Amino acid sequence: MEKKSFWSENNKALKKLWATHFVMCIFGLMTYLPFNTEPDANGNVTAGWWLALFAGIVAILFLFYLIDLFIWEVGAKEQLSHEANTMNGMKGFLIGLIVAIPDFILGMLYMFFSYYSTYEWAKNPAFIISLITVTWESMFAGLKATIFSGFFPPYYLIVSFVPVIFTGFSYWMGTKQKPIIPRPKRKSE
């Protein structure tokens, strides 16, 4: 598969996945921000902590649902168009990697500036990168605020691989015509 044909064939898929990621950033912020995730004075977690954890899980599952709805169809269409014999099974994974380039860059910058944020030269960039990264990866911020609330800078770098793996898996399941998420039966016309 040539580079030019890959870009022209998958341009729509890449744009749609970037748009999905952007929409999920807003959804992730809206779901977990209303809840207080701080433990009370005795160190007990509050109801808000559980609600933030639940909202974070719902945001991630909704992200997977949206990815699966689109990428599964891309794999299924390619299988139906008889390109399955010649296509590379890693195409969905490659699409996910390309879409996740901003995630990887932000995750690496977040990790770098988290370690050096105590130095005077890194305080302002650390704050800006942290703000951008937490906003861009906000569908995973509910889990970060609850389960991984301590100092764990590689978190946003690690979670950037999760949609990549799911995108590849969903595409592969589409080529096998086996849905991950049950779809309603369409009436034949």
- Read off the pLDDT of residues 53-104 as tens digits, 9 standing for 90 and up: 888 899 999 999 999 988 988 888 877 776 555 556 688 889 999 999 999 9
Q: Stretch 149-172: mean pLDDT, rounded?
A: 89
DSSP letters spanning 70-126: HHHHHHHHHHHTT-TTTS-TTHHHHHHHHHTHHHHHHHHHHHHHHHTTTSGGGHHHH
Task: Say if CB 141 and CB 134 are below 8 A apart.
Answer: yes
Angle ∠(64,68,70) on CA atoms, nearest 5: 125
Which two structure tokens, joined as six digits, stand for 10? Answer: 């998958």
Instruction: Say if residue 104 is exposed, middle or buried (CB neighbours under 10 Å; 0-12, 13-18, 19+).
Output: middle
pTM, 2 dp: 0.81
Give the CA dihedral 151, 163, 181, 146, nearest 10 degrees. Answer: 10
Better-scored residue on pLDDT, 183 or 21 = 21
pLDDT class of 188 with cuts at 50, 70, 90:
low
| Residue indicated by tokens 């599952």 | 61
- Residues 16-50: pLDDT tens digits? 999 999 999 999 888 878 876 666 667 676 777 88
Residue carrying the six token digits 């370690």: 115
State CA 46 to chain mean position distance.
27
CA distance to 79, 126, 134, 152, per residue, from 22 (Å): 29, 22, 13, 24
